[in-house]
Structure 1
Amino acid sequence: MNDESIRGEGVKVTRPNPVPLLLTIAYLAFVSLGLPDAVLGVAWPSVRETFSLPLSGLGMVLVGTGTGYFLSGLLAGRLVQTLGVGTLLTVSSALVALSLFGYSLAPVWPLFLLCTPFIGMGSGAIDSGINAYAASHFPVRHVNWLHACYGFGAMLGPLVMTGALVRSGSWRWGYVAIGAMLLLMALAFGSTRASWRTAGAPGAASAEARVGTLQALGHPMVWLQVVIFFVYTGLEVTAGQWCFTLYTEARGVPRELAGTWAGLYWGSLAVGRVFMGFVVERLGPDRLLRFSILSAVAGSALFAFGPTLASFGGLLLIGMSLAPIYPTLMSRTPGRLGEGYAAHAVGFQVSAAMLGAAILPSLAGVLAGRFGLGMVGWVTVAAAAVLWLLHETLLKLTPRSAA
């Protein structure tokens, strides 16, 4: 058996070859995690018409989902220690499935809205639980490929909803179909629950299992990684959400062309994670992270200040550069912090990522409204530069045995 061993704070983290069945289920889990996330944009016009809602009603759904996601991420470490990964994934997948069925059956808007925090809580727990397990038990290349599967799931979800709208004329059947897929994932997690508990590193450090939530919050490197995830997702979502508006309203790019490049940006994240999975172990994860962040700084500068054609190239360079950062940072967490701290830190990082994806793009919008859309480019450059500084600080603080 070829084991991958890392040391974090004096605690050895051993990653044996992953169990094929669990690895397959983990890949499917990331596809299923992406399924509901991008569906709302396709379903919303029909949902809004059904319940006679204003455009602002979408914000209520996002707030409800985001709140549940954030809270579950904060509690994920304690839930993993109390329930075990297998039980947490089973219960969380079932919760998301039942909430999606609740969407499909809701006769009035308040009942539809009531389901949103439960979808957020379930999705956040799945995200935290599967990331915590993968970071400790799967080689870093697989963690990159797992996150690529999330992108494919996010691409598949809108197609399922579109098919339901075309065939049945109702958004409700789209949520039924996606809920059924999540229910199958819950059954898969439940049937392998014991394997999730027992598979993996033998002799994991028992002392670290006693790390509590408050103890983890007192660790300075935990906070540093939380801030890194906040900035990373803020950069990723700011570039993706604002590039279309920047191109069409500030640079005169036709809508069709701008939409194509916006789609290519999100596609580059998935493709980049597939490609980087093949090279990360040859370069080494920290070296790949350093190179990727510097490349993201260069891409952000081209996106912000280059002529139109160069700006398109810069946008794709941002996507390809950012692709391995989230999964590789997740994979390095147990090595830097040790298993006990990592169980909490992964959940904190997921919550921070949710906040970054909401706050930094919103800040870019406020600045663009006051000073012009060119501020979007400045925000991406600043976020990329801050991300580089934070990661360099993290490398300096990482124990030599974990580097």
Structure 2
Amino acid sequence: MAVVPSIAAEHGHAVPDYPPKTQDCPQDPEKTVTPEDVTEEESGPPSPPVEQLQRWNESPINRFRYLTTNYCFALMGMTDGSLGALLPYIESYYSISYTVVSLVFLSPFVGYLLAALLNNLIHHYFGQRGVAIIGPVSRLIGIVPLVFHPPYPALPVILLFSGFGNGIEDSAWNAWVGNMQHANELLGFLHGSYGLGATIGPLIATAMVTRGGLPWYTFYFVMIGAEAVALSLAGPAFWSATAKVHRAAMHAASSGSTESSANGADGGTQTRTTTRTVLLNPITWLVAFFLLGYVGAEVSLGGWITTFMLKVRHAEPFLAGLSSTFFWLGLTVGRVALGFVTGKIGEKFAISLYLVLSVALQLLYWLVPNFAASATFVALLGFFLGPLFPAAIVAATKLLPKSYHVSAIGFAAAFGGGGAAIFPFAVGAIAQHKGVEVLQPIVLAILAFILAMWLLLPGGLRVGGLERARENRETVGQNLMRPVAWVKKLKKTG
């Protein structure tokens, strides 16, 4: 008997176990509505299912999973945000230069890159269950040694595991939530949780060091407890999301999108969309480089704000740390609030507008030499940068075939996470010779770069442009040629 899998399963999502409504046809609340089961011999090739995206609150297991992923993202934010707040104290503790201390940003890139390359294989052999366990365990491996404040050369190696844990969860949960109903809003809350963690992390870390007089490494005792809770939640939440569920779902999605015949999920030869196939699509790379630049700008700002405010704006240490909190708080509010706006006015237009405003705010942050003004501008900058990551994930789901989503979104999210390592390290390396003021022109250049990447995506700036671009099979950069064609047409008619 060949049952058409649910749309949730199409993207590698586990199907919750519910009592069947009939003996012969198990029902699933996450599935699309399909005809009754019939054999292939009786009916011929199966018709494609009617798409009906799952909702986050349609079942207890979905609610549990979505809340768990939000908690995991909050921990990822605490990990990234607190590192920037602790950077001046790590530098002084080990008596090292900007360039050397910046290695703590660079080493997680290796972990993120491994996550980008292995995401598809982990899903294929371990399912989402594997991601739910490997992610928190990897972060614990990258946190526990820090409480013993080992010699500095060990820190970059240790933090590689944190980067891998963040990267594998970042990719998996973005792909899962990005294929739900109201994805803009749900991803806004998901990444808002990251921003909330990145707001709380620096606040706790700064207070422990400046007000409590504690060494920088004591903050990681807090993180060990929080990660233990994540492991106890994520494992049970995704326990039924096995590799078998994922492989069956990917087989069905590939069959539906390629019109190739294949046997059932339980036997025969299965069609699998590989990472190599996904990487041949230029949209995957555009989204990946967009996220690389975006995350680089976000973490460069969040990681070096405290140092910039201390060295350039001459702020008091606690207030300097608080300015980092303002940035992450603005990011959190922007992701949640603007998530309800982005989908209504269209992702392509909304993100273009947010980026133009971000460029203006970055210029003000750079050129107005006042601490209060700088703290205000950086909070607003966080607000308009907030929706960029969720909107890029939604754009990928609208432009790419369904069978590509887990691999493409996973690769782009994990590859983009590498920006959290490359650009903050570059800021530190250049700042060693030119001063931490180089933060501002570097971030400005990154913002201009990702605006160019965004405009190269297919689809116009009107609402529904991404969907029409996929229907019309538009190519990368094709929309930018329309004004040129319009001008040529005017010349001919004139």
**1:157 pairs with 194, 201, 218, which one?**
201
1:313-363 deviation line (CA, Å, top 9, x unaligned): 654443221110012212332221123322222233234333434444555
**2:224 pairs with 155, 159, 179, which one?**
179
Distance 1:293 1:25, change over 3 A: same
1:159-205 deviation line (CA, Å, top 9, x unaligned): 55568778895666643442232122122122122454669xx8961
Larger CA Rg, structure 1 vs 2: 2
**1:140 pairs with 184, 203, 206, which one?**
184
Give the RMSD, CA atoms, in angstroms: 4.2
1:102-142 deviation line (CA, Å, top 9, x unaligned): 43357766766653322222222122222221212362201
* 5+ residue gaps, structure 2: 1-28, 33-47, 57-61, 258-270, 461-465, 472-494
Separation in structure 2 between the aligned mates of residue 35 and residue 119 of structure 1, nearest angstrom? 12
Q: Which residue of 2 aligns with 1:285?
A: 347
Separation in structure 1 between the aligned mates of residue 421 and residue 146 of structure 2, nearest angstrom? 23
Deviation at 1:228? 1.2
1:272–1:321 contact (8 Å) kept in structure 2: yes
**Amino acid of the residue matched to residue 388 of structure 2?**
I
1:84-114 deviation line (CA, Å, top 9, x unaligned): 1222122221232244234335776676665
2:142–2:160 contact (8 Å) kept in structure 1: no
**2:415 pairs with 352, 358, 363, which one?**
352
Q: TM-score, normalised by structure 2?
A: 0.66
Matched ranges for 1:1-400 at <5 A? 14-18=52-56, 19-40=62-83, 54=96, 58-104=101-147, 114-137=157-180, 139-158=183-202, 174-196=219-241, 205-207=253-255, 210-241=272-303, 253-256=313-316, 261-305=323-367, 314-361=377-424, 376-396=439-459, 400=468
Separation in structure 2 between the aligned mates of residue 270 and residue 335 of structure 1, nearest angstrom? 24
Distance 1:262 1:61, change over 3 A: closer
Higher RCO (CA-CA < 8 Å; seq separation 6+): 1
Separation in structure 2 between the aligned mates of residue 114 and residue 381 of structure 1, nearest angstrom? 30
1:30–1:147 contact (8 Å) kept in structure 2: yes
Separation in structure 2 between the aligned mates of residue 298 and residue 249 of structure 1, nearest angstrom? 23
**Amino acid of the residue matched to residue 110 of structure 2?**
T
Distance 1:78 1:393, change over 3 A: same
What is the count of residue pairs matched by the alignment?
A: 394
Distance 1:244 1:97, change over 3 A: closer
Distance 1:292 1:3, change over 3 A: farther
Distance 1:361 1:188, change over 3 A: closer
Separation in structure 1 between the aligned mates of residue 50 and residue 109 of structure 2, nearest angstrom? 35
Distance 1:20 1:374, change over 3 A: closer
Separation in structure 2 between the aligned mates of residue 129 and residue 400 of structure 1, nearest angstrom? 27
**Amino acid of the residue matched to residue 228 of structure 2?**
L
Deviation at 1:231? 2.2
Deviation at 1:146? 1.0
Separation in structure 1 between the aligned mates of residue 147 and residue 66 of structure 2, nearest angstrom? 31
Deviation at 1:37? 2.6
Separation in structure 2 between the aligned mates of residue 269 and residue 14 of structure 1, nearest angstrom? 31
Deviation at 1:17? 1.0
1:89–1:130 contact (8 Å) kept in structure 2: no
Deviation at 1:150? 1.0
Greater alpha carbon shift after TM alignment, 368-377 vs 231-240? 368-377
Separation in structure 2 between the aligned mates of residue 341 and residue 104 of structure 1, nearest angstrom? 40
Q: Which residue of 2 aligns with 1:7?
A: none
SS at match of 1:35: helix
Distance 1:175 1:365, change over 3 A: closer
SS at match of 1:136: coil
Separation in structure 2 between the aligned mates of residue 233 and residue 124 of structure 1, nearest angstrom? 12
Distance 1:318 1:129, change over 3 A: same
SS at match of 2:296: helix
Separation in structure 1 between the aligned mates of residue 381 and residue 67 of structure 2, nearest angstrom? 30
Separation in structure 2 between the aligned mates of residue 346 and residue 54 of structure 1, nearest angstrom? 38
Distance 1:46 1:11, change over 3 A: farther
Separation in structure 2 between the aligned mates of residue 371 and residue 108 of structure 1, nearest angstrom? 27
Distance 1:60 1:373, change over 3 A: closer
Greater alpha carbon shift after TM alignment, 359-368 vs 226-235? 359-368
**Amino acid of the residue matched to residue 141 of structure 1?**
E
Greater alpha carbon shift after TM alignment, 301-310 vs 173-182? 301-310
Separation in structure 1 between the aligned mates of residue 220 and residue 435 of structure 2, nearest angstrom? 39
2:192–2:333 contact (8 Å) kept in structure 1: yes
**Amino acid of the residue matched to residue 34 of structure 1?**
G
Distance 1:234 1:121, change over 3 A: closer
Deviation at 1:212? 0.9
* 5+ residue gaps, structure 1: 5-9
Q: Percent identity?
A: 24
SS at match of 1:65: helix
Separation in structure 2 between the aligned mates of residue 43 and residue 370 of structure 1, nearest angstrom? 22
